[in-house]
Amino acid sequence: MGESVILGIKDLYKSFGGVAAINGLTLDVLEREVHAVIGPNGAGKTTLVSQLTGVGLPDAGQVVFRGRDITRMPAYRRPHLGMARSFQITSIIHDMTVLENVVLAVQAKAGHSYRFWESAIVDDQLTEPAMRALTQVGLEAEAMQIAGPLSHGEHRQLELAMVLATDPELVFLDEPTAGMGREDSTRMVSMLESLKGSRTIILVEHDMDAVFALADRITVMVEGRAIATGTPDVIRADRLVREAYLGEDMNTAVK
């Protein structure tokens, strides 16, 4: 883990109809760390991810990526700086094959797509990295199937493959284990573990097992604000955090 800041968030505000979803959040994410963001429902975690990925624009505050102010940069330009995200609610292209979904992710990073003549799906420059990403998440056997009818677990794997295929430096994972059973969830966590150290990951997650297994540092969000940031041990021991959020759950979840 390096010590330099890859993503700096300063005094971020975002409200919807007078209700503050993010209320003066300040946070530094370090190079190559897995930084988990936890908090009760409605704490503003998903809103935070959309503000950081440009899907929504903050009312006030600043987001700096590698020294560059990206607060108001449109969503489609951010991946070209090396950012990628997965969605809490699976977001894939249902009527395309698994491979085509990932090919699009590779294509996004392979320069412009104003190429009108050669077929994309037989282009090795696209399909080879795509197949690599699918192999990485264990979905290579399903490459030629239409993505829509696959299982929920497979959708989550595809979602991750699309993130990996863009070879990002900074990844936002919004509840990668959402809706998964124990088995799938464990597999997903070990898959994410293998990514540790190679890129920066901002992990929003409800599953405390996953969070404490993966995170280098944890930020606890309550009512749109970061009430604590620190290593898992520090967060475990923090009285404020226990009172505000973890409570009884924490004892059972983290033993």
Partner 1 sequence: MKSLTLRGWVTLIGLVVLALLPVFINRQLPLTILQQWPWLGGHFDFVTFLTGQEFYLVLATRLVILAIAAVSLNLILGYGRMISFGHAAYLGIGAYAVGIPAYYEIYNGFIHIGIAVVVSAAFAFLTGLVCLRTRGVNFIMITMAFSMMVFFAFVSIEEYGGDDGLVIEVRSEFGQWVNLENDTVLYYVCFVSLLGILYLIRRIVHSRFGMVIQGARGNEGRMQSLGFDTFRYRLVCYVIAGALCGYAGALLGNFTSFISPEMMDWTRSGELIFMVVLGGTSSLFGPVLGASLFILLEEILSGFWLYWQLIFGIFLILVVLFAKGGIDSWLGRRPER
Give the sheet arrangement for strand 217-222, strand by strand.
83-86, 170-174, 200-204, 34-38, 217-222, 225-230
Burial 84-107 (b: 16+ CB within 10 A, else e): bbbbbebebeeebbbbbbbbbbbb
Minimum separation from the CB atom of position 143 to partner 1 (A): 15
Near partner 1 by CB under 8 A: residue from 3, 18, 95, 198: 95
75 part of the interface to partner 1, by CB under 8 A: yes
- In this structure, are residues 120 and 96 in contact, taking their beta carbons and an 8 Å threshold? no
Q: Specify the residue, 41 or 116, whose C-beta has the smaller distance to partner 1.
A: 116
DSSP 120: S
Near partner 1 by CB under 8 A: residue from 20, 30, 96, 208: 96
Q: Specify the residue, 41 or 122, whose C-beta has the smaller distance to partner 1.
A: 122
227 part of the interface to partner 1, by CB under 8 A: no
Residue from 86, 19, 43 nearest 206 by CA: 43
Nearest-angstrom CA–CA distance, 54 and 65:
12
Query: Pattern of binders to partner 1 over 26-65, x per CB under 8 A?
Result: ---------------------------x-x----------
99 part of the interface to partner 1, by CB under 8 A: no
Measure CA of the first residue to CA of the last residue in the chain; give whole Å: 27
85 part of the interface to partner 1, by CB under 8 A: yes
Query: Where does this chain touch partner 1 (CB under 8 A) — which range of 8-16, 93-101, 136-144, 198-206?
Result: 93-101
Query: Pattern of binders to partner 1 over 173-212, x per CB under 8 A?
Result: ----------------------------------------
Minimum separation from the CB atom of position 109 to partner 1 (A): 7
Near partner 1 by CB under 8 A: residue from 41, 67, 76, 198: 76
Exposed (0-12), middle (13-18) or buried (19+): which is 232, by Cβ within 10 Å? middle
Residue 212 backbone dihedrals phi, psi, to 5 degrees: -75, -20
Residue from 233, 231, 227 nearest 245 by CA: 227
Exposed (0-12), middle (13-18) or buried (19+): which is 76, by Cβ within 10 Å? exposed
Q: Specify the residue, 102 or 244, whose C-beta has the smaller distance to partner 1.
A: 102
Q: Specify the residue, 148 or 247, whose C-beta has the smaller distance to partner 1.
A: 148
**Tally of CA atoms within 13 A in the half-sphere of 195 that contains its CB:** 31
131-170 residues near partner 1, rule: CB under 8 A: 162, 166
Nearest-angstrom CA–CA distance, 60 and 74:
16
Query: Where does this chain touch partner 1 (CB under 8 A) — which range of 25-33, 82-90, 177-185, 234-242?
Result: 82-90
Note the residues at the interface with partner 1 (CB under 8 A).
53, 55, 74-80, 84-85, 87, 91-96, 100, 103-105, 107-109, 113-121, 123, 126, 162, 166
